[in-house]
């Protein structure tokens, strides 16, 4: 059996008496597109924070490609290939996407202190940045100021910045949050089409996007895994429909 890209084993997190993550065992397959869904307060963000090292688990373990990472710092986890994006937009508005990605590439290869003009002359950096921009569909926009990009395309730039760290696993916290419906399909299409050597775990509230783009889904309720499986199976699960999809007005 192949080693999962990312795995949790009976992972628990308590805040005082409150069990926010309750014996969560989850497997993200290599190259998977795995959605984490659940009602508000189910513990989705907490789980992402445990995976990235922002929070320490109360018990249980986290494995990245089979190696335990519980005791590692966030930076060490990133260096081992665990990338993430955030719900908030934290881009340099006046740089072009190409320049922002160049800085992210330079950061990864230890050349962050170099001025941007100098990086423009380093063809290995510019070539890699351009390839990354193209990989998320930003090739034609890569020289425009970031502020001119539609919001969905700014989210794609955030993903390209995370990819510059060469992650094996990418955690996306609500990639389509705040993105107009007219752009969210294209955004998720680009995410689904990312190189398949990167496994993706994403939180998303928009069920149309989840059921269209996820290959597997884990449903969290009150900190526990209610069920896990391919979209068709999750959509038919009576318990999911009762506690979640029904609530969402399905
Ligand atoms: N630092 C904290 N101290 C105490 N309780 C917390 C803390 N962080 C989160 N919680 C509680 O943990 C539960 C899960 O929160 P979390 O934000 O992980 O849920 P979520 O599924 O991401 O929700 P949403 O979909 O609304 O973002 C909530 O009841 C929340 O109030």
For residue range 21-73, what is the model confidence (pLDDT) as tens digits?
999 999 999 999 999 999 989 999 999 999 999 999 999 999 999 999 999 99
Q: Helix, strand, or coil here: 124?
A: helix
**What pLDDT sits at residue 240?**
87
Please check the confidence at residue 248 and state whether its pLDDT lies above 80: no
Check pocket membership of 40 for ligand 1, CB cut-off 6 A: yes
ipTM above 0.85, yes or no: yes
41 Cβ closer than 6 Å to some ligand 1 atom: yes
Backbone angles phi, psi at 17, to 5 degrees: -85, -10
Is 100 a residue whose pLDDT tops 50?
yes
Q: Of 44, 86, 29, which Cα lies nearest the Cα of 220?
A: 44
65 CA to centre of ligand 1 in angstroms = 27
Which helix (H) or strand (E) segment holds residue 213: the answer is helix 207-213
Predicted pLDDT of residue 157: 93
Give me ligand 1 centre to Cα 36, in Å.
14
Q: How confident is the model at residue 87 (pLDDT cuts 50, 70, 90)?
A: low
Predicted pLDDT at 94 = 85
How much is the pLDDT for 85? 78
Structure tokens at 62: 């986290």
Share of the chain above pLDDT 70, in %: 95
Does ligand 1 come within 6 angstroms of the Cβ of 21? Answer: no
Instruction: Report the alpha-carbon angle 49-129-160, nearest 5.
Output: 30
Atom of ligand 1 nearest to the CA of 43: 18
| 104-132 pLDDT per residue, tens | 999 888 877 788 888 889 899 999 999 99
pLDDT of residue 249 exceeding 70:
no
pLDDT at residue 250 greater than cutoff 50: no
Pocket test of ligand 1: the residue of 41, 203, 224 to mutate, having most ligand atoms within 8 Å of its CB, is 41
Is residue 107 within 8 A of residue 161, CB to CB? The reply is no
pLDDT, greater one: 239 or 66: 66
> For 172-204, how does the pLDDT look when each residue is reduced to its tens digit (9 = 90+)?
989 898 899 888 988 998 888 888 899 999 999
Mean pLDDT of the chain: 90
What size, in residues, is the chain? 250
pLDDT in tens, 142-169: 999 999 999 899 999 999 999 998 999 9
> Is the beta carbon of 38 within 6 A of some atom in ligand 1?
yes
Could you give the residue ranges of the DSSP H alpha helices within 37-114? 44-52, 74-80, 97-108
Q: Is 44 in the pocket of ligand 1 (CB under 6 A)?
A: yes
This prediction's pTM = 0.89
Task: Say yes or no to pLDDT of 88 above 70.
Answer: no
Tell me if 248 CB under 6 Å of ligand 1. Answer: no
Report the separation in Å between the CA atom of 21 and the middle of ligand 1, taken as the mean of its atom positions: 10
Which of these, 41, 36, 16, 33, lies nearest to 222 by C-alpha position? 41
Give the number of the atom of ligand 1 that is nearest the alpha carbon of residue 220: 21
């Amino acid at each position: 059996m192949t080693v999962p890209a990312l795995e949790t084993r009976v992972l628990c997190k308590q805040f005082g008496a409150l069990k926010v993550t309750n014996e969560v065992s989850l497997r993200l397959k290599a190259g998977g597109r795995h959605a984490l869904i659940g009602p508000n307060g189910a513990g989705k963000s907490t789980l992402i924070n445990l995976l990235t090292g922002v929070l320490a688990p109360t018990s249980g373990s986290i494995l990245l490609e089979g190696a335990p990472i519980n005791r590692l710092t966030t930076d060490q986890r990133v260096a081992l290939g665990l990338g993430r994006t955030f719900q908030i937009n934290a881009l340099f508005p006046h740089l072009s996407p190409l320049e922002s990605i160049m800085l992210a590439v330079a950061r990864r290869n230890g050349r962050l202190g170099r001025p941007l003009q100098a990086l423009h002359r380093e063809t290995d950096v510019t070539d890699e940045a351009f390839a990354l921009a193209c990989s998320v569909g930003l090739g034609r926009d890569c020289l425009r100021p970031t502020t001119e990009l539609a919001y969905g395309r700014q989210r794609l730039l955030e993903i390209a910045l995370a990819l510059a760290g060469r992650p094996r696993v990418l955690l996306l916290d609500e990639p389509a949050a705040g993105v107009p419906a007219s752009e969210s399909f294209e955004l998720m299409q680009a995410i689904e089409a990312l190189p398949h050597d990167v496994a993706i775990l994403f939180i998303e509230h928009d069920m149309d996007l989840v059921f269209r783009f996820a290959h597997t889904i884990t449903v969290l309720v009150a900190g526990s895994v209610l069920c896990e499986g391919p979209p068709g199976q999750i959509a038919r699960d009576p318990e999911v429909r009762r506690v979640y999809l029904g609530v969402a007005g399905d």
